[in-house]
Amino acid sequence: MSFKDGIPLLKTLDDEEDGSDDDFSVELASASRHKWGRKHLLFGLGLGLVVFVVVALIVAVAVPVALLQGGGGGSKAGGGSTDASETSSISPSVTVSSFSISPTPSPSSTSISPTPSPSSTSISPTPSPSPNDLNSYKPTSDDRQYDFLVLSNSLRVVLISDPKSNVSAASMEVAAGSFSDPPDAEGLAHFCEHMLFLGTEKYPNEHEYSNYLTAHGGGDNAFTSTQETNYYFTVDSKYLEESLDLFAQFFISPLFKNSSVADEVHAVNAEHEKNLQSDPWKLWQLLKHVSNPQHPFHQFSTGTLSTLNNSNLLDLLKTYYSSSYSANTMQLVVYGKDPLPTLTSWVDTSFSSVPNRHISPQTFAATPFPQEYSQKMVFYYPVADTNSLSLYWQTAPLDPYYRNDVVEFLSRYLGYEGEGSILQYLKSESLAVSLSAGLEVSADSFSLFLVGIELTEKGLGRVPDIVKTVFQFISLLSSRSEYSDEVTVG
């Protein structure tokens, strides 16, 4: 089992933001030594707004936060001191004024120019195919059969019949996650995910579900995200019917035994402690840490012995489950080798008893990085001996545009590694060794897009120039008519 969020920073860092939009000068904030003996340095970074124009989509964005990790045996970013009691600043060789960057070649003999783009598409999200006609939209090479149905309890189901497969699978998506954690029980959604595996009224043995799958060539897992929790399994196709019935009981009659609570809280805590020496988890929680404290994104969500140390934990768990798990807010996918009518019968028999509590998924209109929580730069020491720069943009929600390939466009052009790319230029200057770009978070009110760059030692000392290079490339894309449109979203 896993959790999409990271590990907690154990000490709050005070932000002493410069507040200027005219340069990259930063003031070293007060820092405190972390539990694992590393120092985390928080910087304010004055970055203006930039218009990000992609595939007929204009999204006004700021850099909510830039996270820089410096390894290399105590390397110092920009030549500054690692002593948290001292004050330092970084002065780049190039000044950026409110990011009014003209789309000209970068300050180097190497020109940054994008590769040709596909034709511009409409700003309106492309409608999804009718779920009742899935087979007419599949590729001609796909000989699997599909069906969509809604059970009497409003549970939505997609069925996939693949006679050639000897392995079957199922996945249930629940429209509730860590954003729904109460402040006095951070990690409750993740804890609920764990507890569902520990017996149901029909199958009371704690490990009956997992043992059955393992004994029949399969396995199971689950993960808790911000606004969703997903459960899934695989099994030898001959045993799919029984596996579905075991699985369905998670959502019908879990036991939530008091005798299981203490052990499972320790299991959640062990998962947290495993992440303490993981740089990706540290980075993720650091991003959450500098977000708006009033937004649920800010909360620590894995769960620990401390955050789940609540005398009413079992009551909180039952309340959360009954208020968040409902057939009308779930979606089930079943993949098997049996014909569609057989799969339909099995699903109807096992899942029609999932209660429909007629609830509405919780929504969150606010965003975690309003203006006052944007434009920051954070320096921290990683566990691994590596240097990297992570740039995050908060945008309008991008999920509605998944059929327009907006994220694919962003990832392709910012993460491209060939001639004329950001990475090709940075490599030519010996500033970076790799670059990746992609969607980091997607929620109902915002998305977070990440550009991650692995830096050389030289690049660690020229972070402001690298940031400017990224924004020059964005500005260049924005200025080209084949990439842009006049419509603003979000």
Q: What is the distance between the alpha carbons of residues 150 and 162, in angstroms, rounded to a whole number?
A: 21
C-beta of residue 155 within 8 angstroms of C-beta of residue 330: yes
Q: What is the distance between the alpha carbons of residues 318 and 340, in angstroms, rounded to a whole number?
A: 35
Residue with tokens 């399969």: 218
Q: Which residues pair with 52 in a beta bridge?
A: 59
Look up residue 10 and give its two tokens.
Answer: 């154990």
Look up residue 460 and give its two tokens.
Answer: 């660690």
Residue with tokens 């939530």: 256
C-beta of residue 6 within 8 angstroms of C-beta of residue 288: yes
Q: What is the distance between the alpha carbons of residues 474 and 439, in angstroms, rounded to a whole number?
A: 16
H helices of 196-291, in order, are 208-215, 240-248, 258-274, 279-289
- Dmax over Cα atoms in the chain, in whole Å? 71
DSSP assignment of 419-453: TTSHHHHHHHTT-EEEEEEEEEEE-SS-EEEEEEE
Q: What is the distance between the alpha carbons of residues 227 and 191, in angstroms, rounded to a whole number?
A: 15
Q: What is the distance between the alpha carbons of residues 366 and 469, in angstroms, rounded to a whole number?
A: 31
Q: What is the distance between the alpha carbons of residues 76 and 71, in angstroms, rounded to a whole number?
A: 8
C-beta of residue 6 within 8 angstroms of C-beta of residue 380: no
Judge whether 193 counts as a catalytic residue: yes
What are the φ and ψ backbone dihedral angles of 130, each rounded to 5 degrees?
Answer: -60, 125
Q: What is the distance between the alpha carbons of residues 171 and 331, in angstroms, rounded to a whole number?
A: 8
User: Of residues 27, 86, 193, 372, which has the active-site annotation?
Assistant: 193
Picking from 351, 441, 347, 339, the residue whose alpha carbon sits closest to that of residue 398 is 441
Q: Give the three-state DSSP class for 224.
A: strand
Q: Give the three-state DSSP class for 363.
A: coil
Q: How far is CA 322 from CA 151, 178, 273, 425, in A?
A: 20, 16, 29, 54
DSSP assignment of 46-81: ----EEEEETTEEEEE---EEEEE--TTT--GGG--
Q: What is the distance between the alpha carbons of residues 122 and 489, in angstroms, rounded to a whole number?
A: 12
Q: What angle do CA 428, 434, 440 make, to 5 degrees?
A: 135
Picking from 319, 307, 379, the residue whose alpha carbon sits closest to that of residue 34 is 379
Catalytic positions, please?
Answer: 193
